[in-house]
Amino acid sequence: MYENSIQTEALNAMVDVIRGTNLKPASSESLAAFFESRSDLSGTLYLGYPIIGTAEGSFQIDSLFVSPDKGLVIFHQIEGTTAEHIEEIQDESYTKLQAKLMQYTNLTKRRHLMVEINVATWAPACQEQDLEIDDDYPVLRSAAELEAFLDEVKWDNFEYFEKLVAAIQSVSNIRSGKRRNYVQQSNSRGAKLKLLEDTIANLDRSQGAAVIETADGVQRIRGLAGSGKTTVLALKAAYLHAKHPDWNIAVTFYTQALKGQFEKLITTFSYEHKNEEPDWDKISIIHSWGSPRMEGVYYNICQWHNIEYFDFATARNRARGREFEYVCKEALAQIHDFEEHYDAILIDEAQDVPPSFFQLCYGLVREPKRLIYAYDELQNLGGASMVSPEELFGHNAEGVPLVSLRNEQGKPKRDIILDVCYRNSRPLLSAAHALGFGIYRDEGLVQLFEHESLWREIGYEVADGKLQAGEHVRLVRQPKTSPEFLEKHSPLDDLVQFQTFQNNDEQMYWLTDQIETNLKQDELQPDDLIVIHPDPKTAREAFGLIRSILFARGINSHIAGVTTTPDEFFVSDSVVFTSIYRAKGNEAAMVYVINAQWCSRGYAFPRNSLFTAMTRSKAWVRVCGYNQGSDSIDRLIHEYEQVKDNHFALEFNYPTEQERQRLTLVNRDMSPQELERRQDILSGFDRLTEALD
């Protein structure tokens, strides 16, 4: 069994306190202070969590301590000096949580719950001396009484701890993907995938904090692709919806194909928290742009403020390549007094939207401006980190920044970093970076980060040399940011493969055979596969032959956003084919990147496309192509073999500032035709015209 990071943290860490929203701040902080001061305890203290879905609706537990050696301790909190209904509340808290956990068969044995549940009332300000309650209902008024109570609590069934954490987090059904009861072979790809999904069913400490901790104000969640940002954001939206059913909440994003994923995640989490469907009148999942036929943040703003709305075609004529930035700036210029429509706005893919969009959202959300945004630490392979909050949200009339993010002791975190990649294995991610940057390209680097510090921020460490201009450096990923279980399920040469062919027909027939094998022998399902064409301009045409061959063999397929609605990506019993833009934000076990020879060019965008395509895989990737003029799959294979021979370390001479400037200039040295083609791609023409028409 693979070692899970949750288990390791539980054994090695002190108590981690995660601060959800609650109406008992004084008793919560005194409880948190006690646990944070104790180095002899381990586990997590949740304040204002969990919320349990029952037949009567949602039930709120004040606080919960989850520990590998104490089990569960429920705290009913009394904020004031008097106490009422202690026995009733303790009983209800116990029975509600027990009923929830009894639903998890992996936590029971012969009808018995294998988790120790204890309940106590924490009443640090209570002055009543004689409460006249049974001794079975402990009331704790001081740190000494709390310490004595915990000393008596024991739990010996540590082997259930990981499963307990998954149940408390209410994410096991989502993170484990689908039920794979059909798997019969012990060593098939389906069996390996089931074990892999079960292993990552828990949120880690940073993810758990990102879900529950909600600051009064702006909150930032940042991390590498595959670090769980979309899942975290969806669970956070569902948590806020359950906690505050009267709030108007908006979840927005730039890739329309993400809408279905958010709806599924939020619905599942809502049933966990409330035992009912989300109130879709109170929680909106909408595109960042929108149109008269598709709700969106920008479109709604224009309607609410009676200002001119620009569609994509008009914006493209006026500001080619920066269309969304243009329309948002125009809207900002016309709005002098914002109508505040939301109590919270959550933005996914924040790296894809301009600062002016953040300023529009900031104007729409009511005080205390709960705006939560999540983004990839890599805006794109050649870009810098996201601009600062000061630049994103602007300044007031006195020149003071409207937003400044700073984590403060004893308060919900405003800036959360997710630094562990749970999607891509170390070999896959390192290879994708090497190819994306051109680390081992004979002609030299294609692009590089603007700031050296970004390498460390995305999980690399210096194994040799120096990470500074003009120096030789060797960068490696460590198990703490690339968990080893992601690469141990299969041989290295099965995790990442490059395939070369004589021509396109040979490539397509090979791909057909592989897909048929995946579905009929490997125990994978159609939605475990993604076929990606990295060049969005030629993708649709390239899919024709392969889809007709699959159809002749009785295998259904679809083109995301073309033969489906813009909101759909995966479709039941059908293999998805997609351009690079619609692939973004989605993932699958087996990813096929076809016609990858286009990515061998020495320009940033084809390299970025290859990086994005490869990192959609959570298990296996196949990069396929053939030599076609100056586009060479053999060139990519040569680069891959070098990073493989270097044990997936990135080893190169870090360019000087002058050399980096020259890199940028070289990459801009294109013919007018190439420049126009690149502008079409960068503007997302195919993606947005399909979405906004």
Predicted confidence (pLDDT) per residue in 317-349, tens digit: 999 889 999 999 999 999 999 999 999 999 998
Q: Quickly count: other Cβ atoms within 10 Å of residue 209's Cβ.
A: 22
Q: What is the mean pLDDT of residues 492-521?
A: 98
On the 0-12 / 13-18 / 19+ scale of CB atoms within 10 A, 104 is: middle
What's at 521, amino acid-wise?
A: Q
> Is the predicted pLDDT of residue 509 greater than 50, yes or no?
yes
Co-location of 510 and 647 in the same domain: yes
The residue segments making up the domain with residue 276 are 206-418
Co-location of 588 and 507 in the same domain: yes
Q: What is the mean pLDDT of residues 301-325?
A: 95
Helix, strand, coil share (%) of the chain residues, nearest 5 = 40, 20, 40
Q: What is the DSSP string of 144-167?
A: HHHHHHHHT-----GGGHHHHHHH
Three-class DSSP category at 141:
coil
pTM of the model: 0.83
Q: How far is CA 413 from the centre of its chain?
A: 18
pLDDT of residue 273: 81
Q: Looking at 370, 387, 418, which one is the last position of a domain? A: 418
Picking from 292, 287, 392, 305, the residue whose alpha carbon sits closest to that of residue 341 is 305
User: What's the pLDDT band for 81 if we cut at 50, 70, 90?
Assistant: confident
Q: What is the mean pLDDT of residues 271-278?
A: 86
- What proportion of the chain, given as a percentage, has pLDDT over 90? 64
Decide which of 363 and 388 is more confident: 363
pLDDT of residue 662: 78
Co-location of 408 and 280 in the same domain: yes
Co-location of 485 and 591 in the same domain: yes
What's at 323, amino acid-wise?
A: E
pLDDT of residue 169: 84
Domains of the chain: total: 3
Highest mean pLDDT among 5-14, 475-484, 658-667: 475-484
58: which 2 tokens?
């949602």
**H or E segment and range at residue 45:** strand 43-47
- What proportion of the chain, given as a percentage, has pLDDT over 70? 90
Co-location of 55 and 91 in the same domain: yes
User: What's the pLDDT band for 90 if we cut at 50, 70, 90?
Assistant: very high
Decide which of 200 and 203 is more confident: 200
Structural contact between residues 313 and 684, judged by C-beta atoms closer than 8 angstroms:
no
675: which 2 tokens?
């420049």
Q: Is residue 308 part of a domain?
A: yes
Query: What's the CA gap between 624 and 600, in Å, rounded?
Result: 12
Structural contact between residues 632 and 601, judged by C-beta atoms closer than 8 angstroms:
no
Q: How far is CA 446 from the centre of its chain?
A: 28
Co-location of 210 and 140 in the same domain: no
Q: Is residue 523 part of a domain?
A: yes
Q: What is the mean pLDDT of residues 91-102?
A: 96
The CA distances from residue 246 to 59, 242, 243, 360, in Å, are: 16, 9, 9, 23
pLDDT of residue 690: 41
pLDDT of residue 377: 59
Domain of 686: which CATH number?
A: 3.40.50.300
Q: Is residue 192 part of a domain?
A: no
Co-location of 409 and 280 in the same domain: yes
Decide which of 171 and 97 is more confident: 97
On the 0-12 / 13-18 / 19+ scale of CB atoms within 10 A, 1 is: exposed
Q: In what order do the strands lie in the sheet with 365-376?
A: 283-287, 249-253, 342-347, 365-376, 219-223, 415-418
Q: What is the mean pLDDT of residues 645-654?
A: 97
Co-location of 625 and 679 in the same domain: yes
pLDDT of residue 406: 86
pLDDT of residue 199: 79
Query: What's the CA gap between 203 and 210, in Å, rounded?
Result: 10
Q: How far is CA 500 from the centre of its chain?
A: 33
Query: What's the CA gap between 123 and 505, in Å, rounded?
Result: 74
674: which 2 tokens?
């190439």
Q: Looking at 400, 418, 436, which one is the last position of a domain? A: 418
> Is the predicted pLDDT of residue 246 greater than 90, yes or no?
yes
Helices 143-151 and 25-36: angle between axes, nearest 10 degrees = 60
> Is the predicted pLDDT of residue 155 greater than 80, yes or no?
yes
**H or E segment and range at residue 123:** none
> Is the predicted pLDDT of residue 176 greater than 60, yes or no?
no
Three-class DSSP category at 282:
coil
Q: Which residues, 6 or more positions from 105, have their beta carbon under 8 angstroms from its beta carbon?
A: none
Co-location of 218 and 366 in the same domain: yes
Q: What is the mean pLDDT of residues 451-465?
A: 88
Q: What is the mean pLDDT of residues 477-499?
A: 95
> Is the predicted pLDDT of residue 687 greater than 60, yes or no?
no
Q: Is residue 110 part of a domain?
A: yes
Q: Is residue 190 part of a domain?
A: no
Q: What is the mean pLDDT of residues 488-510?
A: 97
pLDDT of residue 640: 99
Query: What's the CA gap between 283 and 252, in Å, rounded?
Result: 11
Picking from 114, 112, 117, the residue whose alpha carbon sits closest to that of residue 90 is 117
Query: What's the CA gap between 522 and 539, in Å, rounded?
Result: 27
Picking from 386, 381, 311, the residue whose alpha carbon sits closest to that of residue 352 is 386
pLDDT of residue 255: 82
pLDDT of residue 254: 87
Burial 239-253 (b: 16+ CB within 10 A, else e): bbbbbbeeebbbbbb
Domain of 32: which CATH number?
A: 3.40.1350
Q: What is the DSSP string of 243-274?
A: H-TTS-EEEEES-GGGHHHHHHHHHHHHHHHH
| DSSP letter, residue 599 | G
Query: What's the CA gap between 328 and 333, in Å, rounded?
Result: 9
Co-location of 257 and 323 in the same domain: yes
380: which 2 tokens?
């794109």
> Is the predicted pLDDT of residue 181 greater than 50, yes or no?
yes
pLDDT of residue 57: 82
Phi, psi torsion values for 294, nearest 5 degrees = -150, 115
Structural contact between residues 214 and 20, judged by C-beta atoms closer than 8 angstroms:
yes
pLDDT of residue 376: 77
Co-location of 132 and 156 in the same domain: yes
Phi, psi torsion values for 564, nearest 5 degrees = -130, 175
Q: Is residue 201 part of a domain?
A: no
pLDDT of residue 688: 41
pLDDT of residue 296: 96
Q: What is the mean pLDDT of residues 427-449?
A: 94
Decide which of 341 and 455 is more confident: 341
Q: Is residue 664 part of a domain?
A: yes
User: What's the pLDDT band for 418 if we cut at 50, 70, 90?
Assistant: confident
> Is the predicted pLDDT of residue 264 greater than 80, yes or no?
yes
Q: Is residue 466 part of a domain?
A: yes
What's at 281, amino acid-wise?
A: D
Q: Looking at 391, 418, 445, which one is the last position of a domain? A: 418
pLDDT of residue 681: 46
pLDDT of residue 388: 83
pLDDT of residue 664: 57
pLDDT of residue 222: 86
Co-location of 400 and 439 in the same domain: no
Three-class DSSP category at 301:
helix
pLDDT of residue 385: 52
DSSP β-bridge partners for residue 667: none
**H or E segment and range at residue 692:** helix 685-692
Q: In what order do the strands lie in the sheet with 139-140?
A: 15-19, 43-47, 63-67, 71-77, 117-122, 139-140
Decide which of 112 and 12 is more confident: 112
Q: Which residues, 6 or more positions from 560, have their beta carbon under 8 angstroms from its beta carbon?
A: 257, 568, 569, 576, 577, 578, 579, 582, 583
pLDDT of residue 405: 87
pLDDT of residue 507: 97
> Is the predicted pLDDT of residue 244 greater than 70, yes or no?
yes
Three-class DSSP category at 402:
coil
Q: What is the mean pLDDT of residues 516-544?
A: 95
Q: Give the tens place of pLDDT for each residue, 43-63.
A: 999 999 999 988 888 899 999
